[in-house]
Structure 1
Amino acid sequence: MLLFRVPSVTQVSFPPGQTHGNSVNQTEGKVTLSEEASLTMNCTYSTSGYPVLFWYVQYLGNGPQLLLKASGDKEKGSNKGFEATLDSSSKSFHLKKGSLHVSDSAVYYCVMSDTVTGTVGGAERKL
C-alpha cells in the first residue's frame, strides 16, 4: 500500500488588500493506494493575475522539493512520471501519475505565485 498526503490545511488565502484575493485549494487529504494504481490530486486556484503554479513533494525525513511548474495556459509540467497541465479556464493544475511506486509515498503541495505585472522597487534595469 502507498500513502499519499496533502497538507491537512489545504486552502491558503490572504486578505484581498495584500494578495488580490489569490488562493489555492487541494481537496484530498490522506490517500492510500496500491502499487501501480493511478493517481490524481486536485488543485484549483483563484487569482486576479497571471499565476505560476507549482507542485512540491516532501519525502519522509526531507524538506519540500520542487516537482513541477507551469506558468502559461495549457502548459504541461512533467517529472518522475508525474504530470500536471495548467488550465486557466477551469483554474486547475491537477497532479497525475499513471502507475505509482512505493517510492512515490510522500506529502504533495500545490502552490501558486503571481507573475510580476509591473516594475517593483527598482527591478527595472535600463541599458
Structure 2
Amino acid sequence: MNSSPGPVIVLFLMFGGSSGDSVTQTEGQIILSEAASLTVNCSYESTRYPALFWYVQYPGEGPQLLLKAVKANDEGSNKGFEAKYLKETTSFHLKKASVQVSDSAVYYCA
C-alpha cells in the first residue's frame, strides 16, 4: 500500500521586545505540502540596529537557537533555513527552499 507523507505543519508566534524595540512576524498556523518553499516574514522596529534571532521549538522540546545576525547584511544558514539581516527594509525573513515533515515546529523571531 502506498501512502504519501502528510502535510508539513509549521506554527508561528509573534515575539516582542522591550524599550520601544519590537519584531513582527508571520502569525498563526501555516500548513504546507512537503517540498514546498517557505518564507516567514520578520520585520523589526528599533531606534538602533539590534541583533536579530530565529528560534525553533520542536514538539516536546524547549526553544533552541536556529539563526542569528548581529549586524546589517549578516546572513545565516542552518538545517536548510536561511535569513539575511536587511537594514534597508528592517527585515530578517526566514526562508527554506524545500520543507520536510521534520520542520514542523514553532518558530520565533526575536
TM-score (norm 1): 0.78
Matched, 1:12 2:16: yes
CA distance in 1, matches of 2:75, 2:52: 11
Q: Cα distance, 1:50 vs. partner? A: 2.3
Q: Cα distance, 1:72 vs. partner? A: 1.4
CA distance in 1, matches of 2:65, 2:17: 21
Matched, 1:33 2:32: yes
Write the mapping of 1:82-101 to structure 2, written as runs, cut at 5 A: 82-101=81-100
Amino acid at match of 1:60: P
SS at match of 1:6: strand
Amino acid at match of 2:9: L
CA distance in 1, matches of 2:84, 2:25: 15
Report the counterpart of residue 4 of structure 2 in structure 1.
none
Q: Report how many residues are paired.
A: 104
Gaps of 5+ in 1: 112-127
Report the counterpart of residue 62 of structure 2 in structure 1.
63
Amino acid at match of 2:10: F
CA distance in 2, matches of 1:96, 1:12: 20
Greater relative contact order (Cα < 8 A, sep 6+): 2
Q: Cα distance, 1:27 vs. partner? A: 2.5
Report the counterpart of residue 8 of structure 2 in structure 1.
2
TM-score (norm 2): 0.90
Q: Cα distance, 1:13 vs. partner? A: 4.5
Deviating 4+ runs (over 6 angstroms): none
Residues 28 and 42 of structure 1 are in contact (CA less than 8 Å); yes or no, is this contact kept in structure 2? Answer: no
Please tell me the root mean square deviation across aligned C-alpha atoms, in Å. Answer: 1.1
CA distance in 2, matches of 1:6, 1:100: 15
Amino acid at match of 2:26: T
CA distance in 2, matches of 1:44, 1:67: 17
